[in-house]
Amino acid sequence: MAGKGLKSLSEAMNGLRIAAAQPCRALSSARPSPWISRRSMATEAPVANITRSVDEPWQPISSVPVTIYSFPTLEPRALESWSPKHLHLPLRRDILHLAVVYEGDKTRQGTACAKTRWEVHGSHRKMGPQKGSGRARRGSKQSPLLRGGGKSHGPRPRDFSTKLNRKVYDLAWRTALSYRYRRGELIVAEDGLELPLPDDFLQLAELGRLGNELEDSFVRKYIKQIMEGLAWGKANGRTTFITGDRRPNLFTGMEAAGEDGRAMELEDVDVKDLLETGRIVIERSALKEMIKKHQSDLVTRVAIKGLTSKTPPTGQLIAV
């Protein structure tokens, strides 16, 4: 009984399937057109209508938030919105590579120099007869074939610097900043980033009561305590402090406590420096200046009735 029922069900399903496959003949025209007239000149493809649309198309991020901290308490002082074209660029390792190699090339001293056979000291007299000695013929003592002779194609002092498109370099700069921002390794501090050494120590140092050693060791210990507390020291990959100009306490302090970090002025910073240590602590005005100097691919310098190019917004205050 069950078998019969199944059989009839499957037959019904088969019937339905066949009916669906065959087109309804009643609706077609009375005189069917010949096959040859239905042929077109090109290959056929079935026609379909657009059936649905996307409800919420993807929208890119319009701004990224940046917290401004005080140093060294790390109290959040302000919240700003920055452009994603400055701090949220996609990671392009090839562009970073180009910039790092370009910087490395132009840093090379290029002073290696090997003496050629004409520069090696000695007379250029022929060292033996051309024929008859049983040995290979020899000209001068400085031949590159001989020990003590010159080098045919050794290094010569030259310029190893290469060129990189300014816009590519600027993009690399901002890509490095974006990389740090996304990893939370870009800490923006208030302007006037300086090491707050205790007043009594500073007075004593000014009077000259402490020797160099004592001053250095005190500052070292002071910085070590700060770095250990913030987890910014050697155990956490070191920290780079970037300021607009030289801050005496901070710079001399970081020279003394070099294993926990370093301090550099804005003009000395490179893309490689931005990628090296565990984090970057930069003061807000220095970051603004840095981005302003490295956005040539966003801002055109072509002046048509004056320079009207608009820069993307940098540091618009949201909350204090």
Partner 1 sequence: MPPRLPLARAARCCSEMAIGAPSMFATRPASLVSLFAALSVQTQTKPQSQTRSASILANLSDNRGAYHKRIRKGRGASSGYGKTSGRGMKGQKQHGSVHPWFQGGQTPLIVSHGRKGFENLRADKMSEINLDRIQAWIDAGRLDPTKKITPRELILSGIIGRSYKDGIKILARGKTGLKMPIDIMVSRVSAAAIEAIEAVGGKVTTRYYTKESIKRLVQGDSISTDKPLPVGAEHVADILEKARSAKKHYYRLPDPTSRWDIEYYRDPAHRGYLSHTLKPGESPSLYFKVPGVKAAFVKSTKAKKVNAEDLDEKLF
Given the rule CB under 8 A, which of 7-15, 41-49, 68-76, 245-253 is the region that contacts partner 1? Answer: 41-49
Q: Does 98 bind partner 1 (CB under 8 A)?
A: yes
In total, the chain counts a number of residues equal to 320
Given the rule CB under 8 A, which of 3-11, 74-82, 94-102, 161-169 is the region that contacts partner 1? Answer: 94-102
Q: Does 111 bind partner 1 (CB under 8 A)?
A: no
The CA distance from 192 to 1, in Å, is: 93
From the list 51, 62, 109, 212, which residue makes contact with partner 1 (rule: CB under 8 A)? 51
Q: In terms of C-beta density within 10 A (0-12 exposed, 13-18 middle, 19 or more buried), how is residue 102 classed?
A: buried
Estimate the crossing angle of helix 166-182 against helix 284-293, to 10 degrees: 150
Q: Does 153 bind partner 1 (CB under 8 A)?
A: no
From the list 23, 34, 134, 211, which residue makes contact with partner 1 (rule: CB under 8 A)? 34
H-only helix segments in the chain: 2-21, 35-38, 84-87, 93-107, 166-182, 199-207, 212-230, 248-256, 271-276, 284-293
**Per residue, what are the HEC states of 12-31?**
HHHHHHHHHHCCCCCCCCCC
Closest distance to partner 1 from the beta carbon of 256 (Å): 23
Q: Does 272 bind partner 1 (CB under 8 A)?
A: yes
How many chain residues touch partner 1 (CB under 8 A)? 37
Q: Does 3 bind partner 1 (CB under 8 A)?
A: no
Interacting residue ranges for partner 1, rule: CB under 8 A: 33-34, 36-54, 57-60, 93-94, 96-98, 100, 179, 237, 272, 275-277
